Chains A and B, each alone.
Chain A
Amino acid sequence: MSVTREEVAKIASLARIKMGDAELDTMVPELNNILDWVEQLGEVDCSGVEPMTAVIPNSLRLRDDVVDAIPETAGGRREDVLANAPAAEHGFFGVPKVIE
């Protein structure tokens, strides 16, 4: 399977990466090389094989049902959360206007 220039442009738009013509020109053959190469996986008979979901058997555990049980991931840290924001305003993340 190979991808066309239009498809790569579509993928880039889905991935929210702006791509100019020159960049698309180099990206299309590179992606096709990689996709041609992974195509060989189709040779393998995988009937009856379950796709892997966990590499090391491990059960999901429940944490204690306590508010803010782990301080580092708890609430009440607005200043920390906003400290690296490119535009923090009035205690919130600032973004360009989204509603006219």
Chain B
Amino acid sequence: MSELTNLGVKAIRDGVADGSFTAREVAEAFNTAVADAADLNAFIVTTPDHALAAADAADAQRARGEDLGIMGGVPIGMKDLFATKGVQTTAASHILEGFTPEYESTVSQKLWDAGAGMLGKLNLDQFAMGSSNETSYFGNVNSPWRKEGSNAAMSPGGSSGGSSSAVAARIAPAATGTDTGGSIRQPAAFTGICGIKPTYGRCSRWGVVAFASSLDQAGPMARSVEDCAIMLEAMAGFDPKDATSLQMDVPTWEAGLDADLKGKKIGIPKEYRMDGTDEEILKSWEQGKEWLRDAGATIVDVSLPHTKYALPAYYIVAPAEASSNLARYDGVRYGLRDLPDGAGLQDMYAATRAAGFGDEVKRRILIGTYVLSAGFYDAYYTQAQKIRTLVSQDFEQAFAQCDAILAPTTPTASFPLGSLNEDPLTMYLNDVFAVPASLAGLPAMSVPATVNADGLPLGLQIVGKPFDEQGVLNAGLAMQQRSGFDAQPEKWW
């Protein structure tokens, strides 16, 4: 039944519901595909029994004539940033190795309640800090994609690199991601799949290992816009356990999908035409405009004047919040403890955190500690939060002239693992187009556009008004219908 692994969320759900196949057959096919793909290193732990149990429950429900839920019978991958009861949750760190939550994150619980099952916990950049999935304590994730005529291991993007790799390799029909400064959209673009970060507050952060709380948002990653709409519907919703959760009803995004963009205006931000952006990416951006025009939209020029400052502001705000959030890893309550002989409490903290955090995590904690320290707080942190206000106002003004914004997702296609390691800054620049929407809390989606001359996927990004995930999904759908993107990585794993 290997063809079952070619199916996406909607096809699996509908096929299980109409009896074309059983949920158990689907779960078994994906469990086999996961077991066969160890070379990708996409999973930190696999949970075939969880997937089978959920599948059997769906099949039993169907036999009783019950409603299966909007994700009924669909096995998914869960980014290892979501707490899963009884299943190790590490954030790809050594400091949380072996941590087995006594509770379930709101988002994962909602997915199980909607009928989904779990194939396993997906690898990621450590504490979601990274853009290439090279900072995991459990090793790099390999993209299923390779340049034509090369065997070099390519980056699946980050931080949701296990998610993007697994979905692109068709060892999972969909996966959860989280996006703090591009961590859903950039990996989706690198691997030729879709991913949407909803408006800040749509998905509960309860039970998601915190990186930068004012930016962190969960979202789905899948191979089609429809599949993202379905899964986002299952993940979103008010949660009293998250103080920033939006107290709003979840729209029926799947039913609302409509690729007719007549009367819609799509803004093209001139500041996104940056030096160093790949020619082929600029070409795909032009193509995207054509697709949206063909769908009935009007293309208008808009300006986001503070775009250039978004990334440096992000690299103050995010590390500042991270340094505070990661203070909880102290070797006392959970996770690793390193207690040198004769050490006191303070020495234990310092030794535990030295042994438990990777280099990139340490770098960001130090930056964060510095920009929040007495004497530097106003110059760095307050200034960055003011810039964040300006970036947000830029979008407000642009949205007075358009309904959504079209831009590239990334300035380049995927790069070989190890090629950007010597300088952290070069790596940070990969998120230059993704970070502004994060700073403004806006819904944003990456949709595959084409493949470049090397045979690697390129993505296009739609950014929407607050709460207008539907507008983002609809523009994404219009592009998906016109791109006809059906490229697949050739199986080498």
Contacts and interface: CB of A to CB of B under 8 A. Distances in A.
B336 A16 contact: no
A46 B382 CA distance: 10
A40 B350 CA distance: 33
Interface in A46-100: 46, 49-56, 58, 60-61, 63, 70, 72-73, 77, 80-81, 83-87, 93, 95-98
Contacts, number: 170
Contact of A17 (B344, B365, B367, B380): B365
B362 interface: yes
Nearest to A63: B240
Interface stretch (B222-230, B276-284, B383-391): B383-391
Interface in B202-244: 214-215, 240-241, 243-244
Contacts of B333: 81, 84-85, 93
Interface residues of B, number: 74
Interface string B380-421: 101111111110100000000000000000000000000000
A30 B350 contact: no
B386 A49 contact: yes
Interface stretch (B6-14, B45-53, B312-320): B312-320
A98 B199 contact: no
A41 B387 CA distance: 8
A56 B315 CA distance: 20
Interface residues of A, number: 54
Q: Which of B247, B308, B343, B370 has the most CB of A within 10 A?
A: B370
Contact of A15 (B347, B369, B424): B369
Given A14-B373, A49-B389, A55 B312 contact: no
Contacts of B369: 11, 14-15
Contact of B345 (A35, A37, A85, A96): A96
B392 A52 contact: yes
B316 A38 contact: yes
Contacts of A61: 247
Contact of B387 (A12, A44, A56, A77): A44
B345 A55 contact: no
Interface in B418-463: 423-425, 439-441
B344 A96 contact: yes
B334 A33 contact: no
B424 A30 contact: yes
24 contacts: A12-B366, A17-B353, A30-B424, A31-B366, A33-B425, A34-B363, A38-B313, A41-B309, A41-B312, A50-B386, A50-B389, A52-B386, A52-B388, A52-B389, A54-B214, A55-B392, A56-B441, A61-B247, A84-B99, A84-B333, A93-B332, A93-B333, A95-B345, A96-B339
Given A15-B323, A51-B386, 6 more contacts: A19-B362, A49-B386, A52-B388, A84-B99, A86-B331, A95-B345
Interface of A: 1, 3, 7-8, 11-19, 27, 30-31, 33-35, 37-38, 40-42, 44, 46, 49-56, 58, 60-61, 63, 70, 72-73, 77, 80-81, 83-87, 93, 95-98
